[in-house]
Amino acid sequence: MTSLTSDESCIFCKIVSKQVPASNIYEDETIMAFLDIQPLNEGHTLVIPKRHYVDIFDIPEDQLSQVHKVAKQISTALKKLLTLTA
């Protein structure tokens, strides 16, 4: 595994460290979720681990499971919200 706590050249690490602003909609000790600045659809959200990883193959299974769990929770909430406003 080649993970780092953060990478100075990574935009996601800059968002996690609050060097770059983001519209956060979820955050805990290991995961962050925020709205995309160029959304493909209303509610387009990025869910990331706070720790820097090279790619999906580098993320430990437990961390990746947590990312997917949070993504599902956010997706469910967004679906309800966007269905109500449609």
pLDDT in tens, 21-48: 999 999 999 999 999 999 999 899 999 9
For residue 73, pLDDT beyond 90: yes
11-85 homologous superfamily: HIT-like (3.30.428.10)
Taking alpha carbons only, the member of 24, 26, 52, 19 closest to residue 37 is 24
Report domain extents, the chain.
11-85
* DSSP-derived pairing of the beta strands 24-27 and 45-49: unpaired
Q: Measured between alpha carbons, how far is 20 from 83 in angstroms, rounded to an integer?
A: 31
| Range 10-21 average pLDDT | 95
